[in-house]
Structure 1
Amino acid sequence: MEPRRRRTKLNEDDYVLVGTKVSEGHQNYVTAYNMLTGIRVSVSRCNAKVKSPLTDADFRESHKLAFDISGNELTPSARYDFKFKDYAPKVFRDLREHFRLDPADYLMSLTAKYILSELGSPGKSGSFFYYSRDFRFIIKTVHHSEHKMLRLILREYYDHVKKHPHTLISQFYGLHRLELPFGHKVHFIIMNNLFPPDKLIHRTYDLKGSFLGRLTAKDKVKQSQERAPVLKDLNWLQNQEKIQLGSIKRQVFLNQLEKDIKLLQRLNLMDYSLLIGICDLTLGGSGPRGLSVFEPKPEINNNPTSLASPRLNRGSSLAYHTGRSHSPTASSFTFYHDLGGFQATDESNQLIPEIYYFGVIDCLTNYSWVKRLETEWRILETQDMKQEKLISAIPAREYGERFLKFIKLEAQPKSKV
């Protein structure tokens, strides 16, 4: 019996909840191993230091680490030779604390087994997405321009998050750079995963408020065993989808979205989108691999007016098969506290059996001269000046206005505008 139990325990420790396991033998394993080693050492060292009030210098600070097989008094030995750079470590430590992440839990999720997972191929931007083994965190490779942009706006992002803790903008937990032999550099960020591993997402949309090229073809709209296909603006309109929120929750949602978009407009950022995952509770279905979840009797924020308070109902917390509670983020912030998301309500503000998991993503694209050229090219390509309103690459202020207009007019029932 005992050997069988040990084998079962090893099998449980070895799998990932979603996607393809990135472990030894995978083509990206060396990169993933180096990322996780750098994260473990740099974050541990920063957490060990005594906290002090942040200064302007902390937002510009960076630390370099060199790893090799033999190791030295400054860095432990590693399986491969590489260099690692950690940006603004004290600032991101403070952000992680603000987002209610336990330091030990953060490192445990990312580096305990040195296993990541990946879903599909690189995105349109060429970025790779890696997920922590428990699906809570995303490691996303970014272009150098996006890396520079986050460093440039970090102070304003930090101030915005502190002033508006319920922001819909992606939660950033770390900014790093990996340098491999022969000078190849990989910039990456660590951020929250909007979708929980224990719930089946039945429909997923990526909304920008633009229409040109914003249709996922029918031959690609096939339900995967692990995730719903990502649909776009024209699919949203064709399917006559709406964000079902009563007057109370709708006002909370739109007020926060407007504050977030004003920040992005001021920072001259565009090309972001509202990612929405919809879980239909009437259809049931657990998350990947049948992950078991304890769900208490419906006590989920039956008083929508309590949204103004950060102390939310604990009845929506989840307990995974691992015995670890759902991330404290789910019970601390408005848009994550209904089973990790934001539950729909009708016009009478009564609960509807749908949970929305949403946030503003991909918000590090500056409207630079390159984007201006893209705007002109798209207009020439369509040979119609009216098409300018339909393309994605437009100035930041106009982009934000169009984005908000789409969410208000097309993503909400007509009677609610």
Structure 2
Amino acid sequence: LFLCCDAHTPPVRQRDSGLHRLLSIHRTPRVTTEPPAPAPAPAPAPAPTPSTMSSPGATSIPLNALAPKRKTKKKHFVQQKVEVFRGSEPVLSVLMWGVNHSINDLSQVPVPVMLLPDDFKASTKIKVSNHLFNKENLPGQFKFKEYCPQVFRNLRERFGIEDQDYQVSLARSPPLKDEEGQRVGLLLTSYERTLVVKEISSEEVEEMHNILSEYHQHIVTCHGSTLLPQFLAMYRITVENEDTYLLVMRNMFSRKLHVHRKYDLKGSLVSREASFKEKVKELPTYKDTDFRNNMQKVYVSDEEKEKIMEKLNRDIEFLVRMRIMDYSLLLGIHDVERAEREVEDELESSLEEEDGDENGLTPASVSASPEGIASSMNSSKPAGPGEFDPYVDMYAIQSAVGAPRKEVYFMGLIDVLTQYDTKKKAAHAAKAVKHGGGVEISTVHPEQYAKRFQEFIAKIFA
């Protein structure tokens, strides 16, 4: 018979504190209709207390009667939490947790005067087991590994990114998924669109280790003026015995200027046309054949073209030394006139929403100012479409005066972790047999790939 204790009932004074917690009474006890069980053998009853005397129908419950029920409830509670966790995004949660942990630890370590060879092989690991805090978002067990933390810390500094801003950009709000991508792995963008997080393979992690020392020296030599990706960090996240490798880079596109058309150019015309499925997307990625068929051109001044080709040639020399191939030029185009029309349409729609809202508040009027890396971008706010800060949008180039269309171009090299190995040699031989030796195929020797790539890029300018 279960009875509840009234809040005003005097406390029960028992020698056995465990039995005291199980004794409970109520002022109006419930009466069961079950027939009474046979009377057990007489046993010495406990001394009466004020609480038991005030409720003549109260009975005590043996301690061992509730033990199995308490165990069952505890198991059921743990199963509920596992189900809640599986419905969330564990990799993203561990990434945010790991970035916080890493930057906080690095802030306690003095910046080295110079990097040593061991820094390019170093890593930090942390294993979390039986994690009980924030179980709705974080798994109970996970591992987080950061590769070469001092090297990437130095690279972030050379690219003008403060660790605290980097931390806020990735850990303040969850990164956004690229819903339209065809990639097998994750492709994420920080919530303020300044960073890109790309899932890579274990082979690409190995290749990054192979080139990291030379890459760092290349960035030092060119003072950060490069078309190569700006590598900022590399992590391994282990959840449920599955490893996920993530590479963090600066976003080549602008966080403020919308890209209306983009191309992935390799300098080859074999199987280099966007599929129909790709073309129906809101922002498709066109390829070399599409670039020629659309008669697309890049309208920049001769001075800008010379700067671009100087960077490109210097970067490609580095890639050839590293035996890297199969890279692409990512070209994004911002149409200024189209952007102006979009701004006018948004302004009209926002005015209509304000008229219909009695409070006069719209999401734009109450949105918070950006934080993290984006906070440093507010010092020189663009006045309108087509204007940008070259110290922030490092891959952006303004179209020349007198160009047919006023545009902003974003140009950078991507996919630079493919080394010319046995697989590429076999792929080159197979394509040469299929298409003929004189056809421009993408899988060729690094030197040949670089020469063809440079010649193609030089022709995209008007």
Q: TM-score, normalised by structure 2?
A: 0.68
Shift of 1:83: 0.9
**CA distance in 1 between partners of 2:408 and 2:87 (Å):** 36
Shift of 1:44: 2.1
Do the aligned partners of 1:343 and 1:352 also contact (CA within 8 Å) in 2? Answer: no
Do the aligned partners of 1:43 and 1:89 also contact (CA within 8 Å) in 2? Answer: no
1:199-236 deviations in Å (ceiling 9; x for gaps): 22111001010111110135532351xxx211000000
- 1:68 and 2:117 matched: no
1:111-170 deviations in Å (ceiling 9; x for gaps): 113x1211136645x332011111111111101111111111101101111111210000
**CA distance in 1 between partners of 2:298 and 2:185 (Å):** 29
- 1:82 and 2:142 matched: yes
Shift of 1:85: 1.1
Letter in 1 for 2:124: H
1:336 is aligned to: 393
1:158 is aligned to: 216
**CA distance in 1 between partners of 2:86 and 2:333 (Å):** 32
Alignment CA distance shift 1:399-1:68 (3 Å)? same
1:379 is aligned to: 432
Alignment CA distance shift 1:362-1:328 (3 Å)? farther
**CA distance in 1 between partners of 2:446 and 2:379 (Å):** 34
Shift of 1:69: 3.8
**CA distance in 1 between partners of 2:189 and 2:227 (Å):** 20
Shift of 1:245: 1.5
**CA distance in 2 between partners of 1:248 and 1:369 (Å):** 41
Q: Which residues of structure 1 form unaligned runs of 5+?
A: 1-23, 292-319
Letter in 2 for 1:172: F
1:133 is aligned to: 191
Alignment CA distance shift 1:189-1:263 (3 Å)? same
SS at match of 2:90: helix
**CA distance in 1 between partners of 2:437 and 2:152 (Å):** 44
- 1:397 and 2:447 matched: yes
1:97 is aligned to: 157
**CA distance in 2 between partners of 1:372 and 1:100 (Å):** 39
- 1:211 and 2:269 matched: yes
Alignment CA distance shift 1:223-1:178 (3 Å)? closer
1:263 is aligned to: 318
1:17 is aligned to: none
**CA distance in 2 between partners of 1:267 and 1:145 (Å):** 15
Identify which range, 278-287 or 44-53, moves more after superposition: 278-287
Q: 5 Å matches for 1:192-231?
A: 192-218=250-276, 220-222=278-280, 224=282, 228-231=283-286
Letter in 2 for 1:281: V
Letter in 2 for 1:30: P
Alignment CA distance shift 1:365-1:92 (3 Å)? same
1:326-374 deviations in Å (ceiling 9; x for gaps): 28997565x935xx7211115x8x8962111121011000011011111
Do the aligned partners of 1:68 and 1:78 also contact (CA within 8 Å) in 2? Answer: no
1:290-311 deviations in Å (ceiling 9; x for gaps): 69xxxxxxxxxxxxxxxxxxxx
**CA distance in 1 between partners of 2:90 and 2:201 (Å):** 20
Do the aligned partners of 2:326 and 2:415 also contact (CA within 8 Å) in 1? Answer: yes
Q: 5 Å matches for 1:269-288?
A: 269-284=324-339
1:39-82 deviations in Å (ceiling 9; x for gaps): 2212321232111121111111111111234489xxxx954311
2:289 counterpart (234, 246, 250):
234
1:362 is aligned to: 415
1:31 is aligned to: 91
Q: What is the count of residue pairs matched by the alignment?
A: 342
**CA distance in 2 between partners of 1:210 and 1:200 (Å):** 28
**CA distance in 2 between partners of 1:217 and 1:26 (Å):** 35
Return the structure number with greater strand share.
1
Q: Which residues of structure 2 form unaligned runs of 5+?
A: 1-83, 348-366, 381-387
Runs of 4 or more off by more than 4 Å in structure 1? 24-28, 327-333
Q: Taking every aligned residue pair, what percent have the same amino acid on both sides?
A: 25
**CA distance in 1 between partners of 2:378 and 2:204 (Å):** 28
**CA distance in 1 between partners of 2:262 and 2:88 (Å):** 27
2:369 counterpart (319, 322, 325):
322
Q: 5 Å matches for 1:139-150?
A: 139-150=197-208
Letter in 2 for 1:326: M
Do the aligned partners of 1:204 and 1:229 also contact (CA within 8 Å) in 2? Answer: yes
Alignment CA distance shift 1:145-1:244 (3 Å)? same
Shift of 1:197: 3.0
2:106 is aligned to: 46
2:239 is aligned to: 180
1:270-315 deviations in Å (ceiling 9; x for gaps): 111000110011112569x969xxxxxxxxxxxxxxxxxxxxxxxx
Alignment CA distance shift 1:200-1:26 (3 Å)? farther
1:158-191 deviations in Å (ceiling 9; x for gaps): 111111121000000001111222x321111100
Q: TM-score, normalised by structure 1?
A: 0.75
Letter in 2 for 1:33: S
**CA distance in 2 between partners of 1:391 and 1:238 (Å):** 18
**CA distance in 2 between partners of 1:374 and 1:28 (Å):** 40
1:307 is aligned to: none
Alignment CA distance shift 1:223-1:143 (3 Å)? closer
Larger Cα-atom Rg: 2
Shift of 1:104: 1.2
1:190 counterpart (236, 248, 251):
248
Please give the root-mean-square deviation of Cα atoms over the aligned residues, in Å. 2.9
Letter in 2 for 1:89: P
Alignment CA distance shift 1:143-1:237 (3 Å)? same
Alignment CA distance shift 1:328-1:40 (3 Å)? farther
Letter in 2 for 1:391: I
SS at match of 1:43: helix
